[in-house]
A = this chain, B = another copy of it.
Amino acid sequence: MKTIKDSVHDHIRIDGVARDLLDTPAVQRLRRIAQLGTVSLVYPSANHTRFEHSLGVYHLACAALEELGIEGKRADRVHAAALLHDVGHGPFSHNLESLTYRRTGRYHDDVHDLLNEGQVGTVLRDHDLDPDAVADLVAGNGRFGQLVSGELDVDRMDYLVRDAHHTGVPYGTIDTGRLVRELTFADGELVLDEGNVQTAESLLVARALMNPTVYSHSVARISKAMLRRAAERLLESPDADVDAATLQRMDDHELIVALRSCADTGEFSRRLDQRDLFKRAVWAEMDDVPGGVIEAEHESIRAFERDIASEAGVDPERVILDVPSRPSMTESTSRVMVNGEIRPLEHQSPLVGALRAAQYSQWRLGVYSPAEVRDRVGRAAVSVLGLDIEGALVSEVRNGLDATLDQFAE
């Protein structure tokens, strides 16, 4: 048994298969993967890693299983899945996931291969656990998969509290103790027990407030888009000889140094290192954006970027078009017991619909470029993309005024 001090959950005790998995290269690598990618460029204290998050998820899973009275092999499988649930992440966590997915067809929670191979596979088999069964849990399959990856999973509980702790933003402070305690199974489904509509809502609300403030903060989005572009350049560079699968297994150190070393990532690497970021030329609400742009695939987006650059008379590398997907809200289907019945949260709580609407109203298409050309790029983007001009341009571009938008957070 090992006891590890954590700044969020205090002491975490780790034992059995988890204790052995801890020392594998695949888990130790998570120490070098930033939990929130480039968010530390907005919130400088947010340097936490997937490693401490994985420990936290393991800790909450143990607590939940104990409450549920699950022991033995079934518990071991969940313990392993909790600790391993993020080993599939590439450098900078989610930041490059869309890029690597396009080329490998694999998301970070597709870990059947990773869990079968190397020391992880050995440890699992030594503990008489089937790597594929553990990988299924990581993918959210099966009865206990819901606990690892589902609407009420311990992953979300840990990251909301941890991200709040490390950014200093107070909105993620949910009551994990109560959440874990009130989980129960009903008809094979993981639900929150009677009297916990507010508990379920608090999870939803925490994410709804953290979203615009942290996860989708404009500066986080800009830096992430720049990082993605740089990584794309790296993959395409004939000198670098890095493919998507290789990139996916790098840690943050390796990626950063690879970007610096590669001539083709040009300005992006220096800009990221010095936090000399692109600025928003366009920041448009959903209503002001044609449906065809919202639904555009990667290739069309690259084409739009080239057209905007051409219209603005700037190098195509100086224009980034960033179109988020339509908002989703996993928690809306969280199940709560109300008067002895299982009900999806969205049927029980008017908050769900409202938060979904809020997410839509917070959705923004962004066009980013160096400060000195944002005016030209903004107007070109409005024309190329067919945006409503007043709503889309950021105020400097519109009015020639200085923006007040960036005054908060670094």
Q: What is the interface of chain A, defined by CB distance below 8 A to chain B?
A: 1-8, 10-11, 23-25, 28-29, 31-32, 40-41, 43-49, 51-52, 55, 165-171, 173-175, 177-178, 181, 193-195, 198, 201-202, 205, 209, 212-213, 252-254, 256-257, 260, 273-276, 339, 349-351, 353-355, 357-358, 361, 395, 404-405, 407-410
Contact = CB atoms under 8 A, between A and B. Distances in A.
A354 to B, nearest CB: 3
A273 B44 contact: no
Copies in the complex: 4
A2 B410 CA distance: 7
B202 A4 contact: no
A198 B212 contact: yes
A407 B355 contact: no
Contact of A167 (B5, B168, B209, B274): B5
A46 B45 CA distance: 11
Report which residue of A209, A361, A405 has the largest number of chain B beta carbons within 10 angstroms of its beta carbon. A209
A209 B201 contact: yes
Given A7-B168, A350-B361, A275 B28 contact: yes
List the 7 shortest-distance A-B pairs measured between CB atoms, nearest first. Answer: A354-B354, A7-B45, A350-B357, A7-B168, A170-B173, A257-B257, A47-B47
A351 B208 CA distance: 10
Nearest to A272: B28
Contact of A273 (B28, B276, B409): B28
Report which residue of A3, A167, A395, A404 has the largest number of chain B beta carbons within 10 angstroms of its beta carbon. A3
Nearest to A401: B340
A6 B349 CA distance: 28
Nearest to A259: B253
Given A2-B407, A32-B273, 7 more contacts: A3-B408, A7-B165, A29-B273, A44-B51, A170-B175, A254-B260, A351-B355
Contacts of A274: 23-25, 28
